[in-house]
């Protein structure tokens, strides 16, 4: 919802605040409608993300989930998490960066990856 809808609803409610029966309905309707719109946006975003993630190999999905839970992930952490070889994981990380799922932070020793 927009400022254009917010201010009239707020003014309508404010005009009744000091009365015996304040009318909260205009502002509450605006607020609840705004929340419903936000829920719809988030549902669409989650749906798109689920479709994209469903097409990832299991190992890549584990890496993305770890990054989501911890804010970042290193190749060393992924080795400990998955038990996979470092070379296999490097390829998965490379693919995840190329596909836009992860950002590489730093270079060389201490490289880590975070969600985009």
CB 63, CB 96: distance < 8 Å: yes
Give the pLDDT confidence score for residue 50 in this predicted structure: 75
Domain extent listing, the chain: 3-51, 57-115
Q: What is the largest CA-CA distance in the chain?
A: 72
| pTM for this model (two decimals) | 0.60
Tokens 């590489």, residue located: 104
The secondary element (H helix, E strand) that includes residue 26 is helix 25-54
Instruction: Give, in order, the Cα–Cα distances in Å from 111 to each of 8, 14, 48, 93.
Output: 51, 54, 29, 11
CB 95, CB 57: distance < 8 Å: no
Give the pLDDT confidence score for residue 1 in this predicted structure: 64
Say how far apart CA 23 and CA 12 lie, in whole Å. Answer: 8
Q: What is the CATH number of domain 57-115?
A: 1.10.10.10
Instruction: List the chain pLDDT tens, one digit each, 116 residues.
Output: 678 889 999 999 999 999 999 999 999 999 999 999 999 999 888 877 776 777 899 999 999 999 999 999 999 999 999 999 999 999 999 999 999 999 999 887 789 999 88
């Amino acid at each position: 919802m927009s400022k254009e809808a917010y201010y009239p609803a707020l003014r309508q409610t404010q005009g009744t605040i000091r009365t015996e029966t304040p009318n909260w309905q205009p502002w509450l309707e605006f607020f609840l409608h705004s929340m419903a719109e936000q829920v719809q946006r988030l549902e669409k975003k989650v749906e798109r993300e689920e479709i994209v993630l469903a097409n990832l190999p299991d190992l890549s999905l584990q890496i993305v989930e770890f990054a989501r839970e911890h804010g970042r992930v290193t190749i060393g952490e992924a080795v400990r998490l998955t038990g996979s070889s470092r070379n296999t994981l490097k390829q998965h990380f490379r693919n995840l960066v190329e596909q836009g799922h992860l950002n590489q932070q730093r270079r060389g020793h201490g490289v880590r990856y975070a969600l985009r």
